[in-house]
Structure 1
């Protein structure tokens, strides 16, 4: 993989920033300004709009006139794909050694690309550039006006910690990766594409591929301001036990429905993953994914035994208990 040294000896490598837009005019200027301010400057911006009725693309075009990096707007005539397929389309067009997904409403901290690139390249130095690698970081949660809500998205939302050697079985059920705070290499992109229709989200699928076939690298630093404004496709919610109990008590039917829907979606995604990559997985991981995908065909006792025998509750009791009860 070609890397060129920059001033001061820093290793520079091209990154494709993948920006999926849809009616993002309100917050786009701040996000674009944060891209301009990145300390790592060897990047290209790929933009694809999903049918905005506002001036999102006009904002991008005007901003692009003032920067030296290349900006390419993908206009393929399709609209209404949704965030996941919009990003998946950008992934298929990307051809740089590294890629970073970019949400339209966040703000990247200046060292975001540099920090994430170092994490991936460090993993490549030990594992090789042909190893699928995805680095993912923490985020600061802010409101629409960028006022701080929480210093750590991971703590605020209680994203699962991934026990070494057991990463895949946790990512199978919960998305540990926030796509806008991640960076992947070309080997990951090649292995993950095409993103199947059964994937719950593009970043979740990338996380599964990295966990099962490569490396997931946790970066314990916030690299972006993750804006919560009520219009997010997916957002941050307080996930401490007391907050969760209050939510369930007040919205029992909704909470039950969401958990049941998520259980079905993750089983479908696991089935697609093991069907495509089963031969490349270790036997234990392959059997776990196969059994999780076919839980609906098992007896009540076998479903409960699956969670207990594979220590799913021990890994993450708060997040996994609803699945155990509903399975």
Structure 2
């Protein structure tokens, strides 16, 4: 090791930054507040046009590094961060989210104590654009996680919840198809569904072990707004993920794809209800049940509530129902 080269940290935190000047200081402050101190924070400048990077540059902590790249999107920024990371564990933090102070300490304890675990994740709480707590939380299944559960229900939940063993990530690394000198872990052709695509690939190709810890350690920000067209694009991206998975695991998708599709369509129906688009939500519920009745059998209450809310949404003014739906979901439609 060169004489002046600092020792590698235990945890490398990868934070893509793109036009989030309103939130980025909160994200960085939540890292600085961690009770576990052996980390590096890689702030990836993804070519935004606001003051986000200027704000990040105001921090003088030597553990914070800013790395600039041309705009590549979230997946590309994460790849750049992982390529520069020196830690045994890779933690992902989106720059509009926050962590509770004990987040890293508890995940490091978890991963150190269970060397078979490759992805440690936690429950999350939701916050709004102003940072206020919403009523809903993400309380996923924590143990006995199978690849089919990841495909159908995505227990990790959001991109800021996971801390990943670097050695597991490297098992699924690949060369960028257009840039032979660039190593990828996330698929940069995805601008949505990049998280679930990576989780499924880790579980199916690398047989990675996923295991959760119970505390709500991530604060996942929900910003109001959206269009039904965005929901359609989200489903198209999810279908691309299914098609990619089928290319290397056709039997796996053949067994579990319809159930996964039904749950995804139900989730998107709840998002449509939140936006007040009852007709679109009803269409999505119908498509979900046509794909598979498993959500109705396995979670009848949530499925029937989604159906009922979609029916009501058709009868109420869209703006008024959007406000009602926000209270119904705590600001978030949950799968």
Partner of 1:60: 56
Q: Which ranges in structure 1 are unaligned for 5 or more consecutive residues?
A: 1-11, 235-250, 296-302, 323-327
Counterpart secondary structure, 1:19 = strand
Q: TM-score, structure 1 length as denominator?
A: 0.65
Aligned CA distance change for structure 1 residues 261 and 316 (closer, same or farther; 3 Å): farther
1:86-101 map, 5 Å: 86-101=77-92
Match of 1:273 among 239, 245, 263: 245
Tell me the number of residue pairs that the alignment of Structure 1 and Structure 2 aligns: 258
Query: Is 1:137 equivalent to 2:122 in the alignment?
Result: yes
Aligned CA distance change for structure 1 residues 168 and 307 (closer, same or farther; 3 Å): farther
Counterpart secondary structure, 1:26 = coil
Aligned CA distance change for structure 1 residues 262 and 95 (closer, same or farther; 3 Å): same
Partner of 2:279: none
Query: Is 1:168 equivalent to 2:147 in the alignment?
Result: yes
Cα distance between partner residues in 1 of 2:98 and 2:258: 40
Q: Which ranges in structure 2 are unaligned for 5 or more consecutive residues?
A: 1-7, 174-183, 263-287, 308-335
Task: State the Cα distance separating 1:85 from its structure 2 match.
Answer: 2.9
Alignment check: 8 A CA contact 1:85 1:202 kept: no
Cα distance between partner residues in 2 of 1:221 and 1:123: 18
Task: State the Cα distance separating 1:263 from its structure 2 match.
Answer: 4.8
Task: State the Cα distance separating 1:34 from its structure 2 match.
Answer: 1.6
Cα distance between partner residues in 1 of 2:82 and 2:234: 25
Task: State the Cα distance separating 1:190 from its structure 2 match.
Answer: 0.9
Partner of 1:222: 216
Cα distance between partner residues in 2 of 1:139 and 1:294: 24
Alignment check: 8 A CA contact 1:188 1:209 kept: no
Cα distance between partner residues in 2 of 1:31 and 1:304: 39
Counterpart secondary structure, 2:215 = strand
Match of 2:132 among 147, 150, 160: 147
Q: TM-score, structure 2 length as denominator?
A: 0.64
Partner of 2:110: 119
Q: Structure 1, residues 84-125: CA drift from partner, whole Å, max 9, x if none?
A: 33223323333421111112122221111011222222331x
Task: State the Cα distance separating 1:23 from its structure 2 match.
Answer: 1.5
Cα distance between partner residues in 2 of 1:162 and 1:316: 18
1:247-258 map, 5 Å: 254=228
Two-structure CA RMSD over aligned residues (Å): 3.7
